[in-house]
Amino acid sequence: MKIAIIGGSGLEDPDILKNPGETEVETPYGNPSSSFKTGRIEGVEVAILSRHGRDHGIPPSQVNSRANIWAIKELGCSHILATTACGSLRGEIERGDLVIPDQFIDFTRHREITFFERFEAGNLQHCPMSDPFDKNLRQKLIDTAGELNLAFHHKGTVITIEGPRFSTRAESNMFRMWGADIINMSVAPECILANEMQIPYAAVALSTDYDCWKTDEAPVTWEEVLRVFNQNVKNVIRLLKHTIAGF
Ligand code: ADE
């Protein structure tokens, strides 16, 4: 048992491990976003990767998710817990709420989305994606969030956009009509690639803004995303730590 944490915006360098060490991994796809911080939480082995690099120098479209997921596999991690800031596309998902998504819509356009670039010797690789987030891992997060009395939503559809720009109001309204509940720039193709590698993957999304569909709220800005994330990051960390302690 070894848990990989992929830390998103606002969680570049969490100080949550006992006896921390550092590991570099090389992959056939190039370098992962950062080195891995390794250590233990309540005796459970953990390896933490910073999705955008420790100094947040890697924009969403440039995140090398194939290298990241390959490296996580190479390290022998059995599960992936990913964190992400997100915008809320629903009135009932408030700033600071956590969401444990159960579905994604991939609206990215310029990313490497598969490990299966060639079907060798007739070995066709069409990975099922009906339920992309691991059910058992999600349930652990949901149970723990309940025990900790956190403000959270036990399911939701996340739409991942290419970025780095935010959406237009027309797009934001369209995503709501499509049934998306939250919006970010990172779950796809990361979750897709974890599925291809058969590593159970679940995400904790922290709602930081109302994107721009809600006319009685100011449209999202990056400063606002960071401000609200930093205000609530302790809840993300508590949820990760207690969930991992329960493994
Ligand atoms: N991350 C946080 N808020 C976001 C938004 N409104 N759109 C895309 N990614 C986000």
DSSP 194-233: HHHTT--EEEEEEEEE-TTT-TTSPPP-HHHHHHHHHHHH
Q: Is the pTM of this model over 0.90?
A: yes
User: Which of 98, 171, 220 is the pocket-test mutation for ligand 1 (most atoms within 8 Å of CB)?
Assistant: 220
Strand partners, 7: 50
Residue 99 lies in a domain: yes
Place of tokens 């006896």: 19
Tell me, what's the pLDDT at 245? 95
Residue 216 lies in a domain: yes
Residue 242 lies in a domain: no
* Number of domains the chain contains: 1
The secondary element (H helix, E strand) that includes residue 69 is helix 65-74
The residue type of 4 is A
Residue 241 lies in a domain: no
Residue 119 lies in a domain: no
- Pair 100, 155: CB distance under 8 Å: yes
Is 134 a known active-site residue? no
- List the CATH number of the domain containing 10: 3.40.50.1580
Rounded to the nearest integer, the mean pLDDT of the chain is 95
Convert the pLDDT of each residue in 111-146 to its tens digit.
Answer: 999 999 888 887 888 999 999 999 999 999 999 999
Assigned token pair, 156: 């939701």
Distances (CA, A) of 113 to 67, 127, 139, 235: 12, 12, 27, 31
Closest C-alpha residue for ligand 1 atom 4: 87
Residue 53 lies in a domain: yes
Q: 13 pLDDT exceeds 80?
A: no
Tell me, what's the pLDDT at 165? 98
Is 211 a known active-site residue? yes
Q: 83 pLDDT exceeds 90?
A: yes
Residue 245 lies in a domain: no
Tell me whether strands 79-88 and 2-7 are parallel, antiparallel or unpaired: parallel
Residue-number span of the structural domain to which 81 is assigned: 2-113+130-232
Whether ligand 1 lies within 6 angstroms of the CB of 208 is answered as yes
Whether ligand 1 lies within 6 angstroms of the CB of 187 is answered as no
Residue 141 lies in a domain: yes
Tell me whether strands 98-99 and 152-153 are parallel, antiparallel or unpaired: parallel
Question: Ligand 1 mean position to 184 CA, how many Å?
Answer: 5
Exposure letters 94-114 (e unless 16+ CB within 10 A, then b): ebebbbbbbbbbbbbeebebe
Tell me, what's the pLDDT at 143? 98
CA dihedral sign, ordered 103, 109, 113, 118: positive
**Predicted-assembly ipTM surpassing the 0.90 threshold:** yes
Question: Ligand 1 mean position to 92 CA, how many Å?
Answer: 17
Residue 54's φ and ψ, nearest 5 degrees, are -60, -30
Tell me, what's the pLDDT at 38? 95
Tell me, what's the pLDDT at 9? 77
